[in-house]
Amino acid sequence: MPTDLASGAACPVPIGDHTHVLLAHGGGGRLTNRLIDSLFLPAFGDSAVHAHHDGAHLHIGGARLAFSTDSYVVRPMFFPGGDIGTLAINGTVNDLAMCGARPQFLSVGFVIEEGLPMESLQRIVASMRTTARAAGVAVVTGDTKVVDRGKGDGVYVNTAGVGLIEHDGLIAPASVRPGDAVLLSGDIGRHGMAVMAAREGLQFESAIESDCAPVAAPVLALLAAGIPVHCLRDLTRGGMASATVEIAETAGLHIRLDEAAIPIREDVRGACEILGFDPLYVANEGRFIAFVPADAADRALEVLRGFEVSRAAALVGMVSDTSRGLVTLKSRIGATRVVDMLSGEQLPRIC
């Protein structure tokens, strides 16, 4: 009996014509967005303004808080440059930082697969402790569940966090203006390629290390220096391309990127060339873009370069109103192309 129809809570809109959830629904590209827009927002979305942002802005009493959550299902659990524990702390810390908030408290939920070596769990917890300390956050509550062997990839971790917003501006795509400069905090593509190489057993000449790191300190320094930050976005799933496309579409503006200005390390470029990946779409865990007025760009870059995590910050593009919801890239040979959001997982090519 379709009782829910009778009660008025209609069946959600079909998600395209997919009868089953695909991996791409979690890939951070078009399908993820469609899932959010057609299923989650209609169900939960009174605060739709921030639906495609990294966290919610809340007013509680006199305080302004940012609240965010993320789940970590990375395989393998340990990879060059980090592990699922460092990811789980830094990921939520960075989501809060992207709201312009000072990260304060985290919760941690573990879903552990029966049979996980205790030593692995100890390593993960130890790196969470170190990472939380470095990021200046306290883990204040948590939960533990164990599932049958074969029902999980060793361990899944969820973290949620709250942070204090101490500035008056609205850091969101809606605040982006024509004439804004697009600043990138460092080289892109390392995390995705490090995990991919570790997962698939790909041997490169040198191990690519994840860029996993907290970015709250440089963000707070930008705000403390009085730089009018219009929008921030960390470049996780879907990478730089998906983040800029999403902001351009939400803001209804045109973002022009300059390929030659985007820093990418040699080893990452090499690995991407071999596999046929575009580094613009590869995930990062310690990189973000900041939109600031052009006349504040030099000062902002100076602030960012004062921190190890954003030492290689660069001006990579400009915002204009020459088109609505568009990202273009000036290629290395001087021609221009459109940058699109990923419509599924990036798949290695045949030849």
Partner 1 sequence: MRFIDEYRDPDAAAGYARALRRITTRPWTLMEVCGGQTHAIVKFGVDELLPPEVTLVHGPGCPVCVTPLGLIEKAIEIASLPGVIFCSFGDMLRVPGREHDLLTVKARGGDVRIVYSPLDAVALARVHPDREVVFFAVGFETTAPANAMAVYQAARAGLANFSMLVSHVLVPPAMEAILSSPKCRVQGFLAAGHVCTVMGYTEYEPLAARYIVPIVVTGFEPLDILQGVYMCVKQLEEGRAEVENQYARAVRRDGNQPAQQLVREVFRVVPRKWRGVGEIPQSGLALARPYQSFDAGLRFGIAGHTADEPTECCSGLIMQGLMKPRECSAFGTRCTPEHPLGATMVSSEGACAAYYHYRRLDIPRQEAEVATHAD
Contacts with partner 1 by CB under 8 A lie at 16-17, 20-24, 30-31, 200, 202, 254, 256-258, 260-261, 266, 269-270, 273, 275-276, 301, 314-318, 322-323, 326, 328, 330-338, 340, 343-344, 347-351
Smallest distance from partner 1 to CB 80, Å? 19
Q: Distance between CA atoms of 213 and 198, rounded to whole angstroms?
A: 19
How many Å separate Cα 232 from the centre of its chain? 10
Smallest distance from partner 1 to CB 222, Å? 17
Nearest-CA neighbor of 98 among 341, 259, 285, 320?
Answer: 285
Residues of the chain by 3-state class (helix, strand, coil), percent to 5: 35, 25, 40
DSSP letter for 228, please.
-
Q: Please, which residue, 147 or 338, has the CB nearer to partner 1?
A: 338
Smallest distance from partner 1 to CB 46, Å? 28
Maximum CA extent, the chain: 64
Q: Are 318 and 182 in contact (CB under 8 A)?
A: yes
Q: Please, which residue, 99 or 231, has the CB nearer to partner 1?
A: 231
Nearest-CA neighbor of 260 among 335, 171, 168?
Answer: 335
Q: Are 289 and 183 in contact (CB under 8 A)?
A: yes
SS3 349: coil
Smallest distance from partner 1 to CB 186, Å? 12
Q: Please, which residue, 145 or 324, has the CB nearer to partner 1?
A: 324
Q: Please, which residue, 59 or 332, has the CB nearer to partner 1?
A: 332
Q: Please, which residue, 124 or 264, has the CB nearer to partner 1?
A: 264
Smallest distance from partner 1 to CB 12, Å? 18
